[in-house]
Amino acid sequence: MFEQLANLPTAIKQYLIITGNYWAFTLTDGALRMLVVLHFHQLGYGALAIAMLFLFYEIFGVITNLVGGWLGAHLGLNKTMNFGLALQIMALAMLCAPSEWLTVAYVMAAQALSGIAKDLNKMSAKSAIKHLVPEGESGQGQLYKWVAILTGSKNALKGVGFFLGGLLLTVLGFVGALKALILLLTIAWIISVVFLKGDMGKAKNKPKFKELFSKSRAINLLSAARLCLFAARDVWFVVALPIYLAQQFNWNFWWVSGFMALWVIGYGGVQSQAPRITGTSNSNVDTVKHTYLWVLLLSGVTALLALFMQHDVAVHATLIIGLLIFGGVFAVNSSVHSYLIVSFAKSDGVSLDVGFYYMANAMGRLVGTLLSGWLYMEYGLSACLWVAAALVAASSMMALALPKQAA
């Protein structure tokens, strides 16, 4: 087996290292999110207070994607990826502090480090794939497949991380769970430092800091559509849903984390199969059409779910079945988007375009997370869903305006 791995083409070996690195990070990130939500809910924190714990996580994710793309173009994507792993280890270690230290401000600071780490890692992984496939139309089908596998497997592992967070919290307690995650991530960091190529992603023409913002109409529209899309997901999924399940369904930690884990695993599985669902093409024209049609379908699904929940139509069945349908359709949307940004991005300094795009992604998550806590506390879950439907509708309008190729 090791001999077969050694004989693989360099591009494949680098892809496997990047994917393994991303997997390890994602597992700890999913576990940490569930640990924080469940642990602080157990301590008596309300929905809005828990949402505030993730405020810096999302804010610094926005900043990191913007600046991180510039750093990746200057320093190389291996350095930004490895630095992201090191920061996540530091964030986990911070939360191992004595319980009296764990004030809202302190946890927000630790989550800020984690937000920087997550988006450095993601931006680096997605950008690096651009350099591992052939240039031109011949490589577009392979690029779509590789991006879909990376994105889908990442989200499936994030689901495993949710389950792992609930399991570790039950078995080892809060601090014991964090120490186990630190050990896993340290092993991944050492492997990445030793084996990842040092020159990947460096721009031949070093971009100036003022070039952080994209001048491409296609990338600007795709970024705006992504912002609305992920705000629509997180406005009801991140804070409102787990608390609703615990309060209204009387589910314990195991049920909440287990259900959300299975949802995210299924979501990731659909993402990885998106090229088979939509079909692959060497042209962006068909993919842009798919983007509009799938986001339009998602808008209808979300509006129906909101309507049924508002009128208390078979609440248990509606929420669970509706969530599964929403997840499947959303997964295809997300995978198509992830491919288009890497395809539209310029090869020289790809991390600038990808970083800008994922800055919009992080901004959407930030808006969604904050709205999730406030809307749920003031108006309930159905209001969160109606806002989600409006955001998806806005995303569909932006997808309709997408050009057939990057300008």
Are 136 and 249 in contact by the 8 Å Cβ rule? The answer is no
Q: For residue 134, is it left (φ>0), alpha (ψ between -120 and 50) or beta?
A: beta
Burial class (CB in 10 A: 0-12, 13-18, 19+), 102: middle
What domains, with CATH codes, occur in the chain? 2-400 (1.20.1250.20)
> pLDDT tens track of the chain, all 407 residues?
445 556 666 767 777 777 788 888 888 888 888 888 888 877 777 767 777 787 788 788 778 877 776 676 667 777 888 888 999 999 999 999 888 888 888 888 898 899 888 888 877 776 776 666 655 554 556 666 777 777 777 777 887 888 888 888 888 988 999 999 999 999 989 988 887 766 655 555 555 555 555 567 778 888 888 899 999 999 988 778 888 888 888 887 778 878 887 888 888 888 888 777 776 655 555 566 667 788 889 999 999 999 998 988 888 889 989 989 998 999 888 888 777 777 776 655 566 777 778 788 888 988 898 888 788 888 889 999 999 999 999 998 888 877 655 44
* pLDDT of res. 407: 47
Distance between CA atoms of 44 and 137, rounded to whole angstroms? 55
Under 8 Å between Cβ of 245 and 256: yes
Q: What pLDDT is stored for residue 387 in this prediction?
A: 95
Whether 133 contacts 146, CB under 8 Å: yes
**169 within 8 A of 177, measured Cβ to Cβ:** yes
- pLDDT for res 287: 64
H/E stretch holding 188 reads helix 140-195
pLDDT in tens, 343-396: 776 655 566 777 778 788 888 988 898 888 788 888 889 999 999 999 999 998
| Other Cβ atoms closer than 10 A to 193 | 14
Largest CA distance in the chain: 61
Buried b (16+ CB within 10 A) or exposed e, 278-313: bebbeebeebbebbbebbbbbbebbbbbbebbeeee
Residue 231's pLDDT is: 93
Q: What angle do CA 273, 367, 117 make, to 5 degrees?
A: 65
In this structure, is the dihedral angle defined by the CA atoms of residues 189, 190, 192 and 193, taken in order, positive or negative? positive
